[in-house]
Copies of this chain bind each other. A is one copy, B any other.
Amino acid sequence: LRGSGPKRYLGVDIGGTKVIAGVGDADCRLESRVLRKTRFDSGGEVALRNVLAAAQEAVSAASAAKIEAIGISCGGPLDPERGRILRTPNLTGWDGLPVVSIFEKEFSAKAYLDNDANVAALGEAVRGAGRGKKSFAYFTVSTGIGGGFVTQGELFRGSTGNASEFGHQTILPDGPMCGCGNRGCLEALASGKSIARRAKELLRSGNTPSQSLMLDLVSGEIDSLTAKDVAKAARAGDRIAQSVWEEAAGHLGLGVANIINILNPERVIIGGGVAKAGLLLFGPVRRVAAQRALPDLARSVDIVRAGLRDDSGVVGAVRLAVLKSSGG
């Protein structure tokens, strides 16, 4: 009989460009998984319809009629207590949206909200590269840079629930402005957005050769250049792209070294779109982190890619639902 089996949980990982929804069991094994474009460029209502449709589809494809609880992951800032989105840059038109109560009505189950980096860290803890580790620090490197720290199997949240803002450590006091209002944050130096910005600056400055491969990749439309294009050009031997990439990855390595010295994790896990560059990223990150972290600490940690790849968030959202609905 549908609905009489083991408990099922809905996880929804909402991003600026796509949403991934999935239904999993109490061990966070996914039974269904649906990916859709969110289309925030068509407005907040369209995006909300797409998000709910993806969640409905994931529920329909799963074996249980009844959802026990719902976990929702979004980029911050959020208000997890009140279940609302705040001024999140990439979720245009969702300012103040009571996403938790919308989901609760739609699926007749209790819903819980947390920020994307925390949720992805939960996913890596339960079914990814963090399994069995005493502690690990999770970096998500995509448009921005977020962090999550799991120790003794639990997310470390800090005194007001805002800990692990790894992307907002200052690592270059007079560096570029960051979206947070500070200068020289790691996010302003090594995020996907910063990598693209730096490459565009160099392409527009007079001092660089006009035949960069990056220009070919975007058919001359410098504005549309992304970190992915920079990675592709760097791999193909483009010197400007290589220098931009090396510099950004080096900054990330420095930020990772700081986290190693402060948190002494058994492992550092890096996820998010920029981690898809693989060794192009991990090579310099590992080298710089080993140079800069204290030797004893550097020896006792490894730096690896997120085990669940694109699914750290949706699995983590299922985990959030499991934990919260059981009082965790």
User: Which residues of A are at the interface with B, using a C-beta cutoff of 8 A?
Assistant: 77, 133-135, 147, 151, 156-166, 168-173, 180-182, 251, 254, 257-259, 261-266, 291-297, 300-301
Contact = CB atoms under 8 A, between A and B. Distances in A.
A173 B172 contact: yes
Nearest to A147: B262
Contact of A262 (B133, B151, B259, B297): B259
A84 to B, nearest CB: 15
Given A158-B264, A168-B294, A169-B169, 5 more contacts: A135-B159, A147-B262, A159-B265, A166-B262, A168-B293
Given A171-B171, A172-B173, A258-B170, A296 B160 contact: yes
Contact of A162 (B162, B170, B296): B296
A325 to B, nearest CB: 24
Contacts of A159: 133-135, 264-266, 300-301
A258 B160 contact: no
A303 to B, nearest CB: 14
A306 to B, nearest CB: 19
A162 B264 contact: yes
A297 B159 CA distance: 9
Q: Which of A151, A164, A264, A266 has the most CB of B within 10 A?
A: A264
Q: Which of A168, A169, A259 has the most CB of B within 10 A?
A: A169
A295 B161 CA distance: 14
B254 A170 contact: yes
Contacts of A181: 295
Contacts of A158: 135, 263-265
A264 B170 contact: no
A135 B158 CA distance: 8
Given A170-B171, A170-B257, A258-B258, A163 B294 contact: no
Contacts of A264: 157-165
